[in-house]
Amino acid sequence: GTGADNDLYINQAIVFIEDAIQYRSINHRMDSRSLWLYRWYYSRTCQWILSLTITLILALAFIEKPSSLTVTSDVRYRPPAWNPPCGLTESIELLCFLVFVLDVSVKSYLVGWEEFWKNKWLMAYILTLIVSLADWIVSLSFFCAENVRIRRILRPFFLLQNSSMMKKTLKSINSTLPEMASVVLLLAVHLSLFTMFAMLLFTRTKDGQQDKEWVVYFRNLPDSLTSLLVLLTTANNPDVMIPAYSKNRAYSIFFILFTVLGNLFLMNLLTAIIYNQFRGYLLKSVQSSLFRRRLGIRAAFEVLSSLKDAPANAQQTYVSVGALLRVLQKVEMDSRCKQAIMRSLKICSCDHLSAAQFQKLFEELDKDAIKRHPPSPEYQSHFMQKLQFAFGHPYFGYLGNVVALANIISICVVLVMDADKQPSERDDFFLGAINCFFVLYYLLEMLLKILAMGLKRYLSYPSNRFDGLLTVILLVLEIATFAVYGFPHPGWRPEFMGLLSLWDMVRLGNMLIVFRFLRIIPNMKFMSLVVTTLLDLVKNLRAFAGILVVVFYAFAITGIMLFEGAVGPLGNTSAVNTTYGNGTLKCGTYEQLEYWPNNFDDFAVSNWSPSLFPSLLRLFTAYLLCVNLICRWAKIYFVAWWLISSVIWVNLFVALLLENFIHKWDRRCHREPLSDIEYQRTVELMFRDVLEEPTEEELMEKLHQHPHLQLCR
């Protein structure tokens, strides 16, 4: 019937608009039941459950055997960790897998059969699930005794496939890979040519006294390559050249040439290439987001214009305002935007909207979210108004900053004076009394500010929230101290009582005070610019951070698989003693540098250890580490880690930072800062000036290609 048709059209329009808001693709099934499933799937609860599941399965690595639940990771002091019994983590895993199976089936159904075959991400998702489940079954049938669990390496994929931003970013990175590969190739050529040079320069000599350089760093091809590779990371910067340089000054030319060409030119060239390439791709991805938004809005217009209550006009199609209002009531969107659109509709006061008008209405979505602070309370009494003026004035805030600075300086002075004192000689009276006074001032400041601004306005500023929270915590800490240890007096040095000693409580208070000092940031213009840039960056960086998590996770699990226990065998106390006792050992080996906590024995430390690559690789020439770890694999592992995390990811980060900062800097001059208004900007808004609006033809062509929607015309 017509009514059912109309309902379907309204529902389709709702989903299209929601797709537009979320920058989602509109290529999904469009019948009533599918639409219901689609809205259910993208409802907040469902998405929240999915995110929780992903977090859960990723976090499992911390408690799975080998678990990270020890205070230290140092193999010398580490007690045997608690490992969950077989079946505990496995059953949680199974639960997660079931959620993923549900997720992938709903997704596949919604996308439709034809689209499914084109969607490589969905295929990979299913494949990952199958492999994971198979591995899970194998694991259980061995009663959790087997060590190689492929499904642990595959886990980050679940995080990756769930975020369209991350998939987009990965695509961008993928497009820059050929250029990056060229520079990496260039680096490899540079490295290999210099290695050959080095091997020809530093050879074994007949007398055996002069060839120290050869013995330590250039004994054979792998050693020479490693030495120069580590020189590229600057980790062994002076050490590698000392023996040769000590023989003859001229040898330094070789190392200077290598460093200048490799580090200064080629490495920075990589930055330049990544910046240049990535700049374009970020813009492109934002452009495609804009296209998706416009397409969703246009699709909503098209289905609404098919409604029977629209006037039949051969030339132009129209949408009735009533239908749009019906749609708007049911759409889940930011209430600010919804109200703004409703307001525009009322002002317009027309019955029918053309496509352009319709599109224009929804441009509200692209605008900056503007946040107004609530007004200050209006006092009747003259005295109160004067108080309000005095304590609402910026100068009162500056005074607070000066007091905070004075507090910091007093702590610093006490720290310097107490630096060399024995713990038993320390007198906590001075610091206790001072901090008591300062915390009282902070409390007074907070209360007066709330009086002047009203609680709502006070809390609407992030700096006040930060300030107030820390003041309250400090107050609680101070009261707790006095309750347990009494008021401070000269010679105030009580014994340990309760949860924390007095010394620890004072230290904690001091740390909070140092932390509270960060409230000065918004008062300094340049600092505030820098901090807002950094905060923006963090927002825009979520996709990058996700990819970094994926990489970290995969590398950490691989590290555990390859090197678990590798540092252990020699790490017991007796072995250390014999090692130290052996006078022939070179200075700077793994044991002597006491790198014990850097191993691959559990997930938490395995995440951290590879980032120490340069320092570790520096030691590879010392044979001790090579005996412990499987030498060649370890090298490949560390070099891969260094290339991906340190070289490529850091350069991507620099590119993004450059991009963000330059845009922000340019805008700083254009826009007058208004005191009461804050702008919230996203990466889409940053590029708004340079984005191109998609044309009508492009939109309609795309709409006609929709697999599940037959437009009337």
Residues in 649-668 that interact with a copy of itself by CB under 8 A: 650, 653-654, 657-658, 661-662, 665
Own/partner long-range contacts of 445-451 (Cβ < 8 Å, ≥24 apart): 445/396, 445/400, 445/403, 445/471, 446/471, 448/387, 448/391, 448/396, 449/391, 449/392, 449/396, 451/387, 451/388, 451/391
CB of 474 to a copy of itself, least distance (A): 14
State how far the Cα of 257 lies from the Cα of 239, in Å rounded to an integer.
16
Q: How far apart are CA 165 and CA 547, in angstroms?
A: 10
Q: How far is the CB of 593 from a copy of itself (least distance, A)?
A: 7
Considering the complex, state which of residue 550 and residue 605 has its C-beta at the smaller distance from a copy of itself: 605
Q: How far is the CB of 498 from a copy of itself (least distance, A)?
A: 17
CB of 271 to a copy of itself, least distance (A): 6
DSSP class of residue 217 equals T
Q: List, as one string, the DSSP characters of 287-343.
A: HHHHHHHHHHHHHHHHHHHTSTTS---SS---EEHHHHHHHHHH----HHHHHHHHH
Q: Does 545 bind a copy of itself (CB under 8 A)?
A: no
| Span from 100-108, 271-279, 398-406, 548-556 in contact with a copy of itself (CB under 8 A) | 271-279
Phi, psi at 369, each rounded to 5°: -75, 120
Answer yes or no whether residue 187 interacts with a copy of itself by CB under 8 A: no
Please report whether residue 382 would count as binding a copy of itself according to CB under 8 A: no
Applying CB under 8 A, among 197, 429, 461, 466 the residue interacting with a copy of itself is: 197
**284 belongs to the binding site for a copy of itself (CB under 8 A):** no
Number of residues that bind a copy of itself (CB under 8 A): 94
Nearest of 400, 261, 295, 316 to residue 17 by alpha carbon: 295
| E strand or H helix that includes residue 462 | helix 462-485
- Angle in degrees, CA 47, 53, 59, rounded to 5: 135
Residue 608 interacts with a copy of itself (CB under 8 A)?
yes
**C-alpha–C-alpha distance, residues 262 and 78, integer Å:** 41
Choices 160-168, 281-289, 608-616, 685-693; region in contact with a copy of itself by CB under 8 A: 608-616
For residue 317, state whether it binds a copy of itself (rule: CB under 8 A). Answer: no
Secondary structure (3-state) at 61: helix
CA distance from start to end of the chain: 20
Q: Which of residues 470-509 bind a copy of itself (CB under 8 A)?
A: 503, 507
**How big, in percent rounded to 5, are the helix, strand and coil portions of the chain?**
70, 0, 25
CB of 554 to a copy of itself, least distance (A): 19
Name the residue among 308, 307, 321 with its Cα closest to residue 354.
Answer: 321
Q: How far is the CB of 405 from a copy of itself (least distance, A)?
A: 11
Among 33, 45, 71, 395, binds a copy of itself (CB under 8 A): 71
Looking only at residues 522 through 541 of this chain, which bind a copy of itself when binding is defined by CB under 8 A? Answer: 526-527, 530, 533-534, 537
Q: Which is nearer to a copy of itself, 71 or 145 (CB)?
A: 71
The reply to whether 237 sits near a copy of itself by the rule CB under 8 A is yes
Of 161, 227, 305, 598, the one binding a copy of itself by CB under 8 A: 598
> In this chain, which stretch among 232-240, 289-297, 469-477, 548-556 interacts with a copy of itself, using CB under 8 A?
232-240
The residue (of 423 and 490) whose beta carbon lies closer to a copy of itself is: 423
Element (H, E) at 574: helix 573-581
Q: Does 463 bind a copy of itself (CB under 8 A)?
A: no
**Does the footprint of a copy of itself cover residue 412 (CB under 8 A)?**
yes
Q: Which residues contact 45 (CB under 8 A, 6 or more apart)?
A: none
Peptide bond before 66: cis, by omega within 30 degrees of 0? Answer: yes
**Of 160-168, 231-239, 468-476, 684-692, which segment contacts a copy of itself by CB under 8 A?**
231-239
Residue with Cβ nearer a copy of itself (205 or 695): 205
